[in-house]
Amino acid sequence: MNILIAPNAFKNSLNATAAAKAIGEGLLQSKLPCSIEYFPVGDGGDGTAELIIQKQNGKTINVETHDALGRKIKSSYGLIDDERTAVVELANASGIKLLKTDELNPLHATTFGTGELIKHALDKKVRKIILCIGGSATVDGGIGILRALGIKFLNDKNKLIEIIPKALPALSFIDTSEFDKRVLSCELVILCDVENTLLGNNGAAKIFGPQKGASEDDIIKLEAALTVFNAVTLKQTGIDMSAIKHGGAAGGVAAGLAAYCNAKLVNGIEYFLSITGFEKALQKADIVITGEGKIDAQTLQGKGPYGVAVKAKEKNIPVIGAAGNVPLENNKELQQYFDVLFSINNEATDINTAMQHTKANLIRTGAIIGKLISISQKIKAV
């Protein structure tokens, strides 16, 4: 029996590679006779760029840049395809993982450092940039990236405003005269794992602001800031960023770069699987095991496990899902893609405690899966 283990990262707990290895360790403990192939996946979230670089045998480029609060940091991006393509992870410059909990403040956070990574890649004369935008600490609509690429954000007195959301209500004019047009000569592909739009009840501020430390008052201010940015953009370019599918991803980065850089917004997991040889790995698989921190209705919007399950089901391969949180109720749509869903937690506990035990819980769940498969095989043999 060939088992393909293809989980996404378990957010704030284990990266995808570690999660895959933990499930595999459990399978081995179960004594199930099987061969195991590990294929950790990314849907545009934290760690996706690293996986792409590894699978493409790419090269890591170390760069000095700035974090979301403007402090100098050491970061990196990758080059693949004979150094013709750059793979940039927003979280490596503007990520929430780089800040302490008490530093989270999206009204004052900027994606400028990510723009510096992109500019460095342009200096390498790349023809394509893959931007993975999960895990951001920002809700700036991408103005930080755009400023790093030469765009100026001016008030009604023709003075530069600070490139943070708190300053956006003063925005009057967007000056693109010094824009680094090398971006337009590149194919800029943004990997998104959500379909949210820029504004409104399903928008960047209201849905993702709280995850980045925004209070209820902050959310109102962030929504107002992005609304002004959209209004000025609409007036000058005719582009309504609020109508762009995926535009709310990474605090509106997707919308801002789609409007000013002609970025192509794609479903992250579909794109990842298409460029990393997942179809080939599936050819040998009898069972696929996938998972992430939570598998629920939102998973079906394009999260990693959903993308894996879709590909497996196209080949009629059984899919087992493992997650820290699964729905109590039966979700018929989930059941179309996941033959079995396991909650890896064996007792009720708070989320922080659960995350501390993710590895052990995945090992235990992997062992349970292996034993159940063994029992199933014995029953069939009777």
Domain count, the chain: 2
Host domain of residue 36: 2-41+281-381
Reported as a pLDDT band with limits 50, 70 and 90, residue 278 is: very high
Q: Poorest-confidence range of 24-28, 278-282, 375-379?
A: 375-379
Residue with tokens 């109102």: 220
- Please indicate, yes or no, if residue 276 is contained in any of the structural domains: no
Smallest CA-to-CA distance from 289 within 43, 36, 45 is with: 36
Average pLDDT over residues 264-274: 97
CATH of the domain at 289: 3.40.50.10350
For residue 381, pLDDT over 80 is answered with no
Whether pLDDT at 357 is above 90: no
pLDDT at residue 327 in the model: 81
- Is residue 139 within 8 Å of 205, Cβ to Cβ? yes
Asked if pLDDT for residue 347 goes beyond 90, the answer is: no
**Where is the domain boundary, 243, 269, 295?**
269
Q: How many percent of the chain have pLDDT more than 90?
A: 88
Residue at a domain's end among 269, 303, 319: 269
Last residue of a domain, one of 269, 294, 317: 269
- Both tokens assigned to 312: 């497996």
CATH number at residue 66: 3.90.1510.10
- Could you tell me which of 262, 263, 265, 260 has the C-alpha nearest to residue 174? 260
Beta bridge partners of residue 89, listed in sequence order: 132
Q: What is the DSSP letter of 310?
A: H
